[in-house]
Structure 1
Amino acid sequence: MATKVARRTQAERTEATTAALVDAARELFARDGYDATSLDAVAARAKVTKGAVYHHFDGKRQLFEAVFTREVEQLATPLVEAYARKKDPLEAFKAGCRAFLDECLDPELQRIVLLDALTAIGWEQVRRLEGPLLDMMQLGIARAAEAGRIAPRPPAPLAHFLYGALCETAMIVARADDQKAAHRQAVSEINRILDGLAID
C-alpha cells in the first residue's frame, strides 16, 4: 500500500512539475517569442532548476511542442461549442470556421500558433499536432454531405483545402496592420466559399 501511495505521489509531482514548466513556457513564448525565450528563463519562471527542465523535456523545441499541443486542445473547445449551437450541418460547419478565425485574433495564440510555430518546430510537426482540428473539419464535411447540404465527396481533400485556407488567412490577419478589418474580410470570404458549396 505504501509503495502505491509513493508511486502515486511521485506521479503527481511529475505531473505538477511538467504543468508548471508548460505554463511558464507558454507565458514566455507568448510574451517574448520562441527565439528570445531561454530554458533558464523558463526554469526561473517555473521555480525549478534547469536540470528539472531537461529531466522532463529534451530541450526548447520539445517544450514548445507541449505548449503548442495544449493550445490546439484548448482551441478545439470553442470550435465544438460554436458547431453545436447550429442545427443545420453546413451552418454548423461555417460557425466552426468562424470560431477558428475569431480565436486566432488572440495575440498570445497568434504568437505561438501562427507566428512562431513553423520556425520553431517545422511544418510537418505543426500539421501533425494540429491533426485533431483537421479531423474535426473532416467530420463536419462528412456530416454536411450526409445531410445533403453539400455534394457527396471524400471529406479529406476538401478538409485539407479549407484548413489550409483558414490557417493562411489567420496568419495574414495576424500580420495585418489593421487586424479587425482583415478579420472581417477573411470571415466574409470564407462564408462566400462555403455558401458556394451549398446545395439548395
Structure 2
Amino acid sequence: MATKVARRTQAERTEATTAALVEAARELFARDGYDATSLDAVAARAGVTKGAVYHHFDGKRQLFEAVFSREVERMVAPLAAAYGRKKDPWDAFGAACRAFLDECLDPGYQRIVLLDAAAAIGWEQIRHLESPLLELMEVAIARAADAGRIAKRRPGPLAHFLYGALCETAMIVARSDDQKTAHREAVTEIGRVLGGLAST
C-alpha cells in the first residue's frame, strides 16, 4: 500500500512539474518568442532547476511542442461550443470556423502557433500536432453531407482544403497592421465560401 501511495505521489509531482514548465514556457514563448526564450528562463519562471527541465523534456523544441499541443487542446472547447449552438450541421460548421478565426486573435496563440511554430518545429510536426482539429472538421463535414446540407463527398480532402485556408488566413491576420479589418474581411470570405458549398 505504501509503495502504491509513493508511486502515486511521485506521479503527481511529475505531472505538477511538467504542467508548471509548460505554463511557464507558454508565458515566455508568447511574450518573447521561441528564439529569445531560454530554458534557464523557463526554469526560473517555473521555480525549478534547469536540470528538472531536462528531466522532463529533451530540450526547447520538445517543450515548445508540448506548449503547441496545449494550444491545440485549448482551441477545441470554443470550437465545440460554437458548433453546439447551431442546429443545422453546416451552419454549425460555419460557426466553428468563425470561432477558430476569433480565437486566433489571441496574441499568445498568434505568436506561438501562427508565427513561431513553422521555424521552431516544422510544417510536418505542426500538422501532426494539429490533427485533432482536422479530425473535428472531418466529422463536421461528414455530418453536413449526411444531412444533405452539402454535396456527398469524402470529408478528408475538403477538411484539409478549408483548414489550410483558415490557417493561412489566420496567419495573414496575425501579420496585419490592421488586424480588426483583416479579421472582419476573413470572416466575411469564409462565410461566402461555405455559402457557396451549401446545397440549395
Q: Where on the TM-score scale, by shorter chain, does this alignment land: which range?
A: over 0.9
> 1:16, 1:199 → 2: CA distance?
50
Confirm whether residue 58 of structure 1 aligns to residue 58 of structure 2. yes
Confirm whether residue 45 of structure 1 aligns to residue 45 of structure 2. yes
Q: Which amino acid counterpart does residue 165 of structure 1 have in structure 2?
A: A
Render the CA deviation track for 1:92-145: whole Å, top value 9, x for unaligned.
Answer: 000000000000001011001100011100000000000000000001110000
> What residue number does 1:152 align with?
152
1:14 to partner: Cα distance: 0.4
> What residue number does 1:100 align with?
100
Moved over 2 A (4+): none
Q: TM-score, normalised by structure 2?
A: 0.99
- Correspondences of 1:166-185 after superposition (within 5 Å): 166-185=166-185
Q: TM-score, normalised by structure 1?
A: 0.99
> 1:158, 1:181 → 2: CA distance?
27
- Correspondences of 1:12-91 after superposition (within 5 Å): 12-91=12-91
> 2:114, 2:65 → 1: CA distance?
13
Q: Which amino acid counterpart does residue 3 of structure 1 have in structure 2?
A: T
Render the CA deviation track for 1:20-47: whole Å, top value 9, x for unaligned.
Answer: 1001000000000000000000000011
Q: CA RMSD in A?
A: 0.4
> 1:76, 1:27 → 2: CA distance?
20
Q: Which amino acid counterpart does residue 192 of structure 1 have in structure 2?
A: R
